[in-house]
Chains A and B, each alone.
Chain A
Amino acid sequence: MGELALLLMTPSPDRRRRLHLNVNALNAGVFGGSWRHPDHDATSSYSLEHYLRIARKAEEAKFDGVFLADGPVIAEDLRYRSANSLEPSTVLTAIATRTERLGLIGTFSSTYNDPAEIARRVLSLDLLSGGRVGWNVVTTAGSGAARNFGFEGEPDHAGRYDRAALVVDIAQRLWDGDDVDGRSLGLPRSPQGRPVIVQAGGSADGVRLAARVAEVVFSAAQTLDDALAFAGRVRDGGVGFGRNRSDVTILPGLSTVIGSTEREAAERRELLSELVPEPYALARLSGQLGFPLEDLDLDAPVPTDRLVAPEQAGGSQTFYAAVLGLIEREKPTLRQLLRHLGGGAGHRIVVGTPERVADDIEHWFRSGAADGFNLMPDVLPSGLDDFADHVVPILQDRGLFRREYEGETLRSHLGETVDETVGETALAVNR
């Protein structure tokens, strides 16, 4: 191929699609045994310093943002593993004071927050950070959380999602300076127009919400085909709400286990499997599958006749569907399934050298299955350090990932340009 042909085929830099990376600072790391890994100081994820260190590293590596998952309830399996604890708006405020550019994405429940209160808190944090905030709008499942707010049981699935759409609508009107039901925020507009709306539920109701309001979607997909199909559903759905197909940035969760050789990575993965406390792994899988495992032979295949359809499953439909897909494809025994899931969050796991991880990321990105990833390192902070020090430079050398931030807001990292000269209708999207 001649030089000219190559030149013509290479998109000019400003029009090139860029990869997006967030780090999901999921306490000790994504696996059930992450907190037991020798790299990790056992209870450090209950301290602010842990998150500051992760955020500084992510900013040094030019990540789009740091992402904090959350729920207003104590973990049932706290005996066996660390959980999310510190309230995200407080952690992100602290991170905002110690970073300059990094996006700050917090999970706040639409089910159990006052809409105007959370809208004001999110915009306050956004203003203090110079326009770097995203709100991961979740609905909160489970009777445990419900009982912390005076409810006897969890609100039904569809009702939770209807409320989420309403809460986002109220928040965005308040952020625009409007008065909603006699309340207004008394705050100026965000430097990035509005805080970014992130959404993470993969159920039918979740996809509808994502299609309607999400600017970033944190998804879960085990295979590239699933990811492509999911992205198609969200983008098609968005068109139905009058949006453009490119209005949504789709970031599947990706768990990484990195070693300097394939063998070293495989050994690290093996160690993490061994470190998952077994009572925890069994209880969790039992919860995901919806039936007790005590009396079953762990070396027999998963009894598929006992599995219910995703729509009938309680809890997270996203991960139940992912587990079902895995059972269908690989027909594992219960023990194999336990090891495969690793007591992790049910997201896809890639194990290997930095080159292999970079290849995987590039393949998914170029195929259109992902605009980037919400990274869930195996152990924090060491798994993020390995990614930042060894995978990011490869992605940069391949022209996939930024070497420097081009703007100061989360929206600018996502490839939007915010035209501040236009005033009230400040948001001009250009990607």
Chain B
Amino acid sequence: MSAPFVVQIAARSEAPDDLARLVALTREARSAGSEAVIVDDTGRGLDASVTVGFLAAEVPEVRLAFVAGTGLNAPYNLARRVLSLHRETGGRAGVLLREDGTDEVTTRARALQEHIGFADAATRLSDYVDVVAKLWTSFPEAALVGDQQAGIFADADLVHPVGHEGSTYRVAGPLNVPTTGEAAPALYTELTNAGPTDHPEVLRIQRGQGSRILRRFVVDSPGDLHALLTDAEVAS
């Protein structure tokens, strides 16, 4: 199995035995060479970003991403939460962005600005991806100078607003979280927006370097992944 893939898991409950299942699945995915473990989120049950924070503490080294819907998260908040996790985990965090409407905060802001038109879902998603990617580079780590003698904490000239004015989102920036020494967080989208019942492949978006298509395996119980990988190998 050489083609890159990701493993997607989901919490069933907040009970300790379910968290132990998620830890086991994450370890298994790491051993099998999964590029990342993506924690699904349907808007109900345990919040996937909290689950990812928990898994990052329990399972070293593995890359983790959480599913986030555009309908629940304003871009500034989501970009900030992902980059915070990325810093906190030594560069292991990412997000799978799922287009499911416009969040409540953005909707309120737009209601005050009648001149903004309505975009279709694909345009909204691409607008969201743009603004998140811009926010992620708006505060370079190099700006954290910390010169105690001179009394200069940050080189503010390196920190720049994003001034994003897209089809749906208007975000001034910059983000108040600096980049890490590592690459930016992984940003995934689904190839078709079929929702959680179907399991299409996912796209890893790499700005400036094109994008990559990754096979996605959705696993529920320890052992599932081994069988899926074996089947995939036979099929290829």
Contacts and interface: CB of A to CB of B under 8 A. Distances in A.
Interface of A: 33, 35-36, 38, 42-43, 46-48, 71-75, 78-87, 89-91, 93-94, 96-98, 112-117, 120-121, 124-125, 127-128, 144, 147-152, 183-188, 275, 277
B1 interface: no
A113 B50 contact: no
Given A113-B105, A149-B76, A185 B176 contact: no
A114 B103 contact: yes
Interface string B39-68: 000011111011101101110000000000
A91 B85 CA distance: 8
Contact of A124 (B50, B72, B84): B50
Given A36-B148, A149-B109, A48 B87 contact: yes
A90 B85 contact: yes
B174 interface: yes
10 contacts: A42-B148, A93-B54, A94-B88, A124-B50, A127-B14, A128-B14, A148-B173, A149-B109, A152-B113, A187-B44
A305 B33 CA distance: 70
A114 B104 contact: yes
Contact of A94 (B53, B74, B139): B53
A97 B54 CA distance: 7
The 10 closest A-B pairs by CB, nearest first: A42-B146, A93-B53, A186-B44, A150-B109, A147-B172, A124-B47, A97-B57, A43-B146, A87-B84, A48-B88
B112 interface: yes
A330 to B, nearest CB: 27
Contacts of A113: 74, 77, 105
A187 B153 contact: no
Contacts of B72: 114, 116-117
A46 B178 contact: yes
B151 interface: yes
B44 A74 contact: no
A89 B49 contact: yes
A213 B19 CA distance: 33
A114 B49 contact: no
Interface in B10-37: 13-14, 19
Contact of B49 (A90, A91, A275): A90
A113 B25 CA distance: 31
Contacts of B80: 72, 87
B84 A91 contact: yes
Nearest to B50: A124
A83 B105 contact: no
A120 B45 CA distance: 8
A42 B153 contact: yes
B187 to A, nearest CB: 17
B14 A79 contact: no
Given A78-B153, A85-B178, A87-B80, A150 B46 contact: no
Contacts of A82: 153
A292 B146 CA distance: 28
B170 interface: yes
A48 B180 CA distance: 12
Given A94-B53, A186-B45, A115 B104 contact: yes
Contacts of B109: 149-151
B199 interface: no
Nearest to B176: A74
A87 B122 CA distance: 28
Given A91-B84, A184-B44, A80 B151 contact: yes
Contacts of B97: none
A415 B147 CA distance: 44
Given A79-B156, A85-B176, A97-B54, A90 B47 contact: no
B174 to A, nearest CB: 5
Nearest to A35: B153
Contact of A150 (B88, B113, B146): B113
Q: Which residue, B43, B73, B178, has most C-beta atoms of chain A within 10 A? A: B43
B76 to A, nearest CB: 4
B110 interface: yes
A46 B144 contact: yes
B75 to A, nearest CB: 9
B13 to A, nearest CB: 8
Given A35-B146, A42-B146, A78 B177 contact: no
Contacts of B171: 147-150
Interface in B107-132: 108-110, 112-113
A73 B104 CA distance: 19
B96 interface: no
Nearest to B135: A148
B148 A90 contact: no
Contact of B88 (A80, A86, A151, A277): A86
B172 A144 contact: yes
B70 to A, nearest CB: 11
A85 to B, nearest CB: 5
Nearest to B13: A188
Contacts of B84: 85-87, 90-91
Q: Which residue, B108, B144, B154, has most C-beta atoms of chain A within 10 A? A: B154
Given A42-B153, A150-B170, A187-B14, A86 B73 contact: no
Nearest to B19: A128
B169 interface: yes
A426 B173 CA distance: 43
B169 to A, nearest CB: 7
Contacts of B153: 35, 42-43, 78-82
Contact of A114 (B73, B85, B139, B174): B73
Contacts of A124: 14, 46-47, 50-51
A11 B206 CA distance: 66
A112 B88 contact: no
Contacts of B169: 150
B139 A74 contact: yes
Contacts of A188: 13-14
B95 interface: no
A148 B76 contact: yes
A245 to B, nearest CB: 35
